Structure 1
């Protein structure tokens, strides 16, 4: 099912590109014509839509030319980095091919956001928007990496379940070996 894997990966990539572009849409539209009713309506809709995905606290949000982005600084960075990461991994042939997950890389990519977010959450310090942007970017790349890894893994598990249910032992053994290769050893 390589075609289905690639189609799903490409659909996810396009969705993240649309998300990344839509985040900048209020700034672009209102910079062109700040009094345009249609542009104001689009901007209001995007802020409403993203309110379900982000806290949108004004002091944690980036403003361009006085225009508030529809997501906080960290989410802005995460969405843009995820879109760029998915495109990069697609150009490198990922999304369809199986590869062993690099656990150390995943931890290193998620760690800056975790440290920044949790130290802020527990009140040990207050983060800045610049730090939120900087720490959100590796998180987004890590998320793209996980998507590129997990999609072939899900298809592999589905094939394994199908082989086990139909009693194809030889095929099951080969699929189990491929699952192990994608998961273990961790280093």
Structure 2
């Protein structure tokens, strides 16, 4: 399982780091069409999974990140969860936690998003990040055991 864990972790790390590369390449693209093209491609890829609204995004290098603050929080939470996962749980332990932990972890994000959607208030990027982080971190402990069990059954 360790080999598969490392493959998943490294793959996700590449995905995660590309969130930072898009604005960095956009910055370089201010003086180079090559880097501008690369940044446009990265933003296009991430647009498939995120709305990328500037007012809901963090900015680095003078450009918005490839995903919004909430998505960035989710992916940061997933990355942190994946890194600490083997310290908390054995890779060959396929038991998933009680579903209520997941539901509780999703409530802050749901409340934040819903109250903004129906116009009760306007959320802010730091809160979007935090609620996304909680959800992303928690979901790792549900997805990885299922994934590892599938791998185990396939290759046992």
In the superposition, the TM-score normalised over structure 1's length comes to 0.70
Number of residue pairs matched? Answer: 154
Give unmatched runs, 5+ long, in structure 2: none
1:103/1:27 CA distance change after superposition, 3 Å: same
Does residue 1:56 correspond to 2:30, yes or no? Answer: no
Following superposition of structure 1 onto structure 2, how do residues 1-187 of structure 1 map, counting pairs within 5 Å?
3=1, 6-31=2-27, 34-154=30-150
* Aligned equivalents of 2:151, 2:12: Cα separation in 1: 21
How much has 1:49 moved relative to structure 2? 0.6
Change in 2 beyond 3 A, CA 1:141/1:99: same
State the Cα distance separating 1:87 from its structure 2 match: 1.8
For structure 1, the 5+ residue unaligned runs are: 160-187
CA contact (8 A) 1:96 1:151 kept: no
Q: 2:91 and 2:113 mapped to 1: Cα distance? A: 29
Show the counterpart of 1:176.
none
> 1:154, CA displacement in angstroms?
4.4
Say if 1:9 and 1:151, in contact at 8 Å, map to a contact too: no
TM-score by length of 2: 0.82
Does the Cα contact within 8 Å between 2:56 and 2:124 map onto a contact in 1? yes
User: Alpha-carbon deviations, 1:136-165, whole Å to 9, x = none?
Assistant: 111110121111232345468x69xxxxxx
Structure 2 counterpart SS, 1:111? helix
Contact 1:19 1:79 in 2 (8 A): no
Cα 1:100–1:57 change in 2 (3 A) is closer
- Give 1:63 shift: 1.1
Q: CA RMSD in A?
A: 2.5
